[in-house]
Amino acid sequence: MLPKFTEFDKKIWEKELEDFVPESVFDAHSHIWSEAFRKNNTQNTSALRLEVALEDLHRWSLTLFPGRNMGYIPLPTPLKDIDYSGHNDWTAAEAHSAKSAGIPLPVIPTMLVVPGMDKEEISLRAERDGVKVLKPYRVYADDPKNGVITDFFPESFMEAADEHHLAVTLHLSKETGPADEQNLKDLERFTRKYPGIRWILAHCARAFNSVHLEDSVHRLAKMENVFVDTSAVNDTYSHYLLFKYFDREKILFGTDNVSAGSARGKYITFGYGWEGYFGKESLEHCDSRCTFIVYEQLRCQKQAAEMVGLTKGEIEDLFYRNSLKFFS
């Protein structure tokens, strides 16, 4: 069941966001899922198990961004112990159904990759299904908290991605994410060794807490084939750092919709950490209702855009032209 859009959300959209979001929006980080691909041992409590086909994603996106032309990278949902092959078949088929769903901008076929797969499966899906983006995920590492990139995205997969000039949407592991020295050294090495891969570092390079991007943005900016998506980051300074020091043409808008980006709450930061806050209490001193995480993200991006003085054209680049150029 899709979330409910309320008058409260409508007020925030109309007052704060409608004039900021341009007429076209390409969502470079969203997810689709079907319960048809769960198994008996699939994790039962994951919020990611919201059934969302491409048509559902598009309908919800038009609710959040009324009147906009939409396009998507609809990523598979990275759950453990599922029917990986079936989920990948379905995800590719959903992407190819975009025209019949009336989606005006491109929809890019994607693939979930899990250690233990044969790298030939990547080549097969790139050639047969037109897959353009691979989705590894840290949960598939033996140690999801501290895994290095190759623990969940082996170099054999990189070889196939390099050969077929694929993009990789990468959610970094390690406590400090983009500031971790091993992550930075590995990205520097892999971008040189596999020049055919373009890396999309999810969630502003996983800078939910901007302190980690402060330590790394200058090195990331020097890596030719490293891009970022903006999905779900509710830290204004993270967006500011990217707008100020990163190549703005390599920043792709994303939402992490539906199950994550459209949860009611906000990612908050503290010390070197962050956590999702989902307000349930009633507070006497303010209106304590929460809107969607993606609307909080848009507020942050708007604030950061004003801080660095982005032009209307640069904002349009951020929301759709960068992504269309990326896949042209």
Instruction: Kindly give the pairing relationship between strand 226-229 and strand 251-252.
Output: parallel
* pLDDT at 48 (0 to 100): 87
Reported as type and span, the H/E element at residue 12 is helix 7-12
Alpha-carbon separation of residue 191 from 125, 186, 195, 197 (angstroms): 23, 8, 6, 7
CA pair distance 231, 90, nearest whole angstrom: 23
Does residue 236 surpass a pLDDT of 90?
A: yes
| Interval 191-210 mean pLDDT | 98
Does residue 320 surpass a pLDDT of 80?
A: yes
Does residue 326 surpass a pLDDT of 90?
A: yes
* pLDDT at 28 (0 to 100): 98
Whole-angstrom distance between the N-terminal and C-terminal Cα of the chain? 34
pLDDT tens digit sequence for 12-51: 999 999 999 999 999 999 999 999 999 987 777 788 899 9
Does residue 282 surpass a pLDDT of 90?
A: no
| Interval 182-208 mean pLDDT | 98
Which sequence spans correspond to the domains of the chain?
Answer: 7-326
Does residue 65 surpass a pLDDT of 80?
A: yes
* pLDDT at 279 (0 to 100): 82
Percentage above 70 pLDDT, the chain:
100
Please give the radius of gyration of the chain, using alpha carbons only, rounded to the nearest integer.
19
Tell me the sheet residues that pair with 269: 274
* pLDDT at 217 (0 to 100): 98
Angle subtended at Cα 301 by Cα 215 and Cα 278, rounded to the nearest 5 degrees: 90
CA pair distance 54, 76, nearest whole angstrom: 11
Query: For residue 86, which phi and psi values (nearest 5 degrees)?
Result: -65, -40
* pLDDT at 213 (0 to 100): 98
| Interval 132-156 mean pLDDT | 97
Query: For residue 167, which phi and psi values (nearest 5 degrees)?
Result: -90, 155
Does residue 281 surpass a pLDDT of 90?
A: no
| Residue 228 CB contacts under 8 Å (≥ 6 apart), including other chains | 200, 201, 202, 204, 205, 220, 242, 246, 250, 251, 252
Average of per-residue pLDDT values in the chain:
96
* pLDDT at 116 (0 to 100): 95
CATH 3.20.20.140 fits 7-326, yes or no: yes
* pLDDT at 100 (0 to 100): 86
